[in-house]
Amino acid sequence: MKTFDKELQKNITPRNALQILKNGNERFINNIREHKNLLEQVNETSAGQYPFATILSCIDSRTSAELIFDQGLGDVFSIRIAGNVVNTDILGSMEFACKVAGSKLILVLGHTKCGAIKGACDHVEMGNLTVLLSKIQPAVFRENKTTTVRTSANKEFVENVAEINVKISMKSIVERSYVLAQMLEQGEIAIIGAMYDVETGKVEFYKDVEYIKDKENPNFSLASLK
């Protein structure tokens, strides 16, 4: 597997980047990994890094982006925080990753059976965790399919909230970062949402909320987002 260099990164499109992640997850769930000489990649990336994608995911120990997408050193920026929520520091990191370092895709990756989501569903309050979980509360309130047992005891409720939370994070990125919003409008980057299944290893990409403007989706506009 060739390590991403400046030329490879420059020529890749946001949709190409998405396909690379999809292909990597297919290899992962089929236990067919591309050969990587990690020490060689250390040498190849020692002078600089050119990741093609930026992945915002949860701190959950089962959701390592490099593993589930079968990527090597220097291939992706990995931003991890409980509940894959968005804050100012994360937005700044994304702006660096895309505007400065050339990343072509932002993936917001939730996962099933998420402890942070469960905590928000149960309105847990504990030290600094209280503030973090408050960022997930909008997703809890927006879940309107469940009328009874709106706690972590209801698995369906938890997964519904997790999906909504991913979509809220996606929208928050473009609403709170004019840098990334501008890049999105110009087709320089795409923002995608997905859910990782901790039981199967499979990633479900949300086609209904692809923030991508290219020949296949020329009519995309931030003005259309609700």
- For the chain, how long is the longest CA-to-CA vector? 56
With CA atoms as reference, report the closest residue to 107 among 75, 133, 132, 73.
75
Closest CA to 19 of 77, 69, 65: 69
Identify the pLDDT of residue 226: 64
Q: Higher pLDDT residue, 94 or 34?
A: 94
Within-domain flag for 216: no
pLDDT at 157: 98
Residue-number span of the structural domain to which 111 is assigned: 6-210
Residue 175 within a domain:
yes
Q: How far, in Å, CA of 189 to CA of 33, rounded? A: 27
pLDDT above 70 covers a percentage of the chain that reads 99
CATH classification of the domain holding 38: 3.40.1050.10
Give domain status of residue 223, yes or no.
Answer: no
Query: Which tens digit of pLDDT belongs to each residue from 9-62?
Result: 889 999 999 999 999 999 999 999 887 777 777 877 777 788 999 999 999 999
Q: pTM for the complete prediction? A: 0.94
- Check residue 57 and give its pLDDT: 98
Domain presence at residue 39: yes
- Domain membership of residue 225 (yes or no) is no
> Does 196 fall in a domain?
yes
Domain membership of residue 88 (yes or no) is: yes
Instruction: Say yes or no to pLDDT of 1 above 70.
Output: no
CA 26, CA 80: separation in Å to the nearest integer? 22
Domain count, the chain: 1
Strand pairing category for 53-57 and 76-80 = parallel
Question: What is the Cα–Cα distance from 106 to 97, expressed in whole angstroms?
Answer: 9
Give kind and range of the element (H or E) at residue 205: strand 203-205
- On whether residue 129 sits in a domain, the answer given is yes
